[in-house]
Amino acid sequence: MGPAPLPAGLALADPVVRDAIQAAWSQAEASPSSAEARLQLALLLDANGFDKAADTAWSGMATLVPADGRPAYFKALQAAERDDLDAAIAGMKQVRALAPTHSPAAWRAGYWHLDLGATQAARELFEHALDVEPTAAAAAIGLARADLALDRTDAAIKRLRELVDLTGHPYTVYLLGQALRRAGRGEEAAALPIRGTPSVPRFPDTWYAALLDAQRGLDAELGRADRLLEDDDLENAHLAIKRALVTWPDNVHLLNRLSEVHRRSNDTAKWVHALERAVRLDPNSFQSQLNLSIALRAAGDQERSLRAAIIAARLKPDVPEGHLQVARMHLVANRPAEAVVALDAAFALGVTDPLEQVQYANTLLQVGRLEDALDRINAVLKVTPTLPVGWIVLAKAHERAGQLSIALESAREGVRHNPGDGALRQLVRELERKARR
């Protein structure tokens, strides 16, 4: 039995999508008994938005190879996208029977049970996934979330600490903070260093990765490049971007990703060149101007870096990153008065990064806004006391205000929170000498 007819709407699709699906359909028609040909056709239909045709294709593959768990797996994911979680959960149960070693069939169903409030059932599925794959971070995080929902807070904290030590991912740090606060340990939670955005990570899933790889078109290529960059696979990211640039040679988003490959490869000249090309193609691209400013700073061209940063800030005045880059370049040129104007604009839009907050406080201190500097740095240290530079700025602010004893106590408090920091210990010694005079 050959494949079902091609979807009627295919003629209106992106030519790249249309050609890939037509080629896969021809292969499946020529080899009606080939499970691999059916798989590729179903993946292409599913990944590129032809849901009904994909459902038919998955059903056809299931008939051809009833012992293969992938058709049931992708049909379950389709059901979840329709918010039919009962059907999705039932589908994953079938997958676990057909492919008992594919842990995502368990942990995905576990998360759906969490959404439905069936916490104990979710916990059992996460434990099953860990039995199948002991290193499955998705299952470990899910189990911690289930433990929190069941008021098993100590167990959740223990598991999350292990994950933080293993991965250091901002999401695990965020969850650990939530668990510590639930346990009434707010100071420990506040001391956790969160670096980056605590969004849910992309959990490994070889079957789902095949679906993502079947996407076609510009958005698919951008997503593919982003995943490879996230995995720090620079060689394949470079190849993927260069291939995409053959079809879309003037796309500034691809050029920005190409520049990121060069940045991570420490090739400053190519990093700058890719962004200069992007800016020539679209001078009004905020991201290109901002990235060019950063690249030019690394190349030592401070004047052009500042000009690009100013353009970026003007293009998107409601986004703090452009203003922050303008401030950085003024600080490099030792112009704190100009820098603080840009920082005022950035922080009025909402900047939460502790290091940026410390830089703001230090600049406020340089221009004589002592009260503002103290307010800012005290707020930072209340949340992040394990930031040595913050205590240094606080101590210097008090010293600048003529409060030497408070400055010394601030430096000593910093050492108590950061006992191994040499700069803080040196500052304590300097302030002690001044206090003895």
Express each pLDDT in 79-123 by its tens digit: 999 999 999 999 999 999 999 999 999 999 999 999 999 999 999
pTM over 0.85: no
pLDDT band at 70 (very low <50, low <70, confident <90, very high): very high
Express each pLDDT in 293-314 by its tens digit: 999 999 999 999 999 999 999 9
Residue 197 has a pLDDT of 67
Average pLDDT, the chain: 92
pLDDT band at 274 (very low <50, low <70, confident <90, very high): very high
Residues in the chain: 437
Q: What dihedral angle (degrees, nearest 10) is formed by the CA atoms of 210, 214, 215, 218?
A: 110
d(CA 130, CA 121): 15
Q: Domain 353-437: which topology?
A: 1.25.40
| Nearest one of 381, 337, 345 to 363, comparing CA atoms | 337
Residues above pLDDT 70, as percent of the chain = 98
Express each pLDDT in 175-197 by its tens digit: 888 888 888 887 777 777 666 66
Express each pLDDT in 202-248 by its tens digit: 888 999 999 999 999 999 999 999 999 988 999 999 999 999 999 99
d(CA 309, CA 341): 14
d(CA 389, CA 376): 13
Q: What dihedral angle (degrees, nearest 10) is formed by the CA atoms of 74, 76, 77, 80?
A: 160
Query: Between helices 137-149 and 153-167, what is the axis angle to 10°?
Result: 150
Domain range summary for the chain, segments of one domain joined by +: 353-437
Express each pLDDT in 380-410 by its tens digit: 898 788 889 999 999 999 998 899 999 999 9
d(CA 18, CA 221): 16
